[in-house]
């Protein structure tokens, strides 16, 4: 049974950032020069991360998502996938990736026990992809997706962060793919985190606006009932579409009442809430010999620290750590 917090939320989901480094520099996420590099020894080893996941499983965590930074930028990810997949109680293991490095790893990841992937994709236009990511190639993403399909890492969900003036003119094109190609597309509202922390609101396209544009140009969105995901998205379907349209609006739609997750940063800090700077250091006690039971106790403590709701947009944004650093 998952452990419950003070507000009756069952916490069964852990996002594990395996690295704070990324091979891309998306304009709304990271500064052009990247984030300050942490020393190798600051980052938890795969064995340390796996020990924490095992401790989390003891508390009823059953779903784990690997993220980053770009998780595939860390060497040996398939081996780590194998370690996590073998932990009793973990029955859903997935990965969030920009897919640019996926082609060469998809088969090994699937073989090691990965079930499915989410791909962050903000544009379908090669030139624009380069402009947003400051260095990536859209071609590599397509190769990665093809390899993931071949390896059975499905269903793939595509996450598009919508930014006014940057890619909001592609919202409808993405929605059309849910019918023409069976894609599952999720639109994500820009959050004032990382390179967007100083955001004045100009870049944000509120979910109701995205939804209205799709309905105006493509068709009515019918709500999808039943299990569609583990997270905050609300799902819909366009007429005749095999794929789904999801919306994640941290700002326009507080989903805190159903928040079921904890986040572990690559340097061993546990964040009860993505949008608060509150963190519990696991690395120091772990390296001082706290062991699995000590980790389970600290995880339980973190769950009790989960705020009832986030205060983003009401107070100062988090102190400027990027999504990559906090395991977005």
For ligand SAM, the closer of residues 296 and 322 by Cβ is 322
Give the footprint of ligand SAM on residues 90-129 (CB under 6 A): 96-98, 120
Closest contact distance (angstroms) between CB of 260 and ligand SAM is 18
Residues 3, 13, 28, 247: which binds ligand SAM (CB under 6 A)?
28
Residue 162 binding ligand SAM, by CB under 6 A: no
For ligand SAM, the closer of residues 82 and 194 by Cβ is 194
Residues 11, 22, 50, 145: which binds ligand SAM (CB under 6 A)?
22
For ligand SAM, the closer of residues 103 and 161 by Cβ is 161
Closest Cα to residue 266, out of 64, 115, 42?
Answer: 42
Residue 14 binding ligand SAM, by CB under 6 A: no
CA angle at residue 108 from 45 to 126, to 5 degrees? 95
Give start and end residues of each alpha helix (H) in the chain.
Answer: 46-58, 77-85, 106-112, 126-133, 138-150, 171-180, 207-217, 283-287, 291-304, 323-326
* CB atoms near residue 83 (< 10 Å): 18
Residues 161, 266, 295, 312: which binds ligand SAM (CB under 6 A)?
161
The span from the CA of 100 to the CA of 147, in Å, is 11
Give the footprint of ligand SAM on residues 183-202 (CB under 6 A): 188, 190-191, 193-194, 196
For ligand SAM, the closer of residues 249 and 295 by Cβ is 249
Strands 13-17 and 261-264: parallel
Residue 159 binding ligand SAM, by CB under 6 A: yes
Closest contact distance (angstroms) between CB of 293 and ligand SAM is 31
For ligand SAM, the closer of residues 5 and 70 by Cβ is 70
- Cβ–Cβ < 8 Å for 317, 200: no
The span from the CA of 108 to the CA of 78, in Å, is 6
For ligand SAM, the closer of residues 202 and 226 by Cβ is 202
CB-based contacts of 317-321 (< 8 A; 24+ apart in sequence): 317/192, 317/193, 317/197, 317/199, 318/193, 318/197, 318/275, 318/276, 318/277, 319/277, 320/194, 320/197, 321/193, 321/194, 321/277
| DSSP element (H, E) containing 262 | strand 261-264
Closest contact distance (angstroms) between CB of 108 and ligand SAM is 18
For ligand SAM, the closer of residues 266 and 286 by Cβ is 266
Whether the upstream peptide bond of residue 71 has omega within 30° of 0, thus cis, is no
Residues 5, 20, 58, 70: which binds ligand SAM (CB under 6 A)?
70
For ligand SAM, the closer of residues 12 and 196 by Cβ is 196
Closest contact distance (angstroms) between CB of 67 and ligand SAM is 5
What is the DSSP-derived secondary structure letter of residue 183? -
Which positions lie near ligand SAM, rule CB under 6 A? 22, 28-29, 67-68, 70, 96-98, 120, 159, 161, 188, 190-191, 193-194, 196, 323-324, 328
């Amino acid at each position: 049974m998952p452990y419950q917090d003070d507000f009756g939320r069952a916490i069964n989901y852990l996002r594990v950032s395996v690295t704070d480094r990324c091979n891309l520099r998306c304009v709304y996420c990271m500064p052009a020069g990247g984030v300050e590099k942490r020393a190798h020894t600051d980052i938890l080893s795969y064995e340390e991360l796996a020990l924490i996941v095992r401790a989390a499983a003891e508390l009823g965590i059953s779903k784990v998502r690997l993220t980053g930074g770009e998780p595939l930028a860390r060497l040996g990810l398939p081996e780590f996938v194998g370690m996590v997949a073998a932990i009793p109680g973990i029955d859903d293991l997935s990965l969030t990736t920009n897919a640019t490095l996926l082609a060469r790893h998809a088969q090994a990841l699937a073989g090691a026990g990965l079930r499915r992937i989410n791909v962050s994709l903000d544009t379908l236009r090669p030139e624009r992809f380069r402009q947003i990511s400051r260095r990536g190639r859209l071609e590599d993403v397509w190769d990665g997706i093809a390899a993931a399909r071949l390896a059975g890492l499905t269903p793939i969900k595509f996450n598009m962060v919508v930014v006014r003036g940057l890619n909001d003119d592609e919202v409808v094109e993405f929605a059309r793919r849910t019918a023409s190609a069976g894609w599952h597309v999720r639109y994500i509202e820009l959050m004032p985190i990382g390179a967007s922390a100083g955001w004045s609101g100009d870049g944000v396209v509120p979910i109701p606006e995205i939804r209205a544009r799709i309905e105006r140009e493509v068709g009515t969105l019918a709500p999808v009932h039943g299990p569609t995901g583990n997270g905050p998205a609300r799902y819909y379907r366009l007429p005749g579409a095999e794929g789904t349209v999801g919306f994640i609006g941290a700002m326009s739609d507080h989903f805190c009442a159903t928040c079921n997750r904890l986040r572990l940063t690559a340097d061993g800090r546990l964040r009860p809430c993505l949008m608060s700077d509150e963190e519990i250091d696991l690395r120091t006690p772990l390296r001082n010999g706290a062991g699995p039971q000590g980790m389970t106790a600290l995880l339980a403590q973190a769950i009790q620290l989960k705020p009832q709701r986030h205060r983003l947009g009401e107070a100062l944004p988090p102190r400027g750590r990027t999504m990559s650093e906090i395991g977005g």
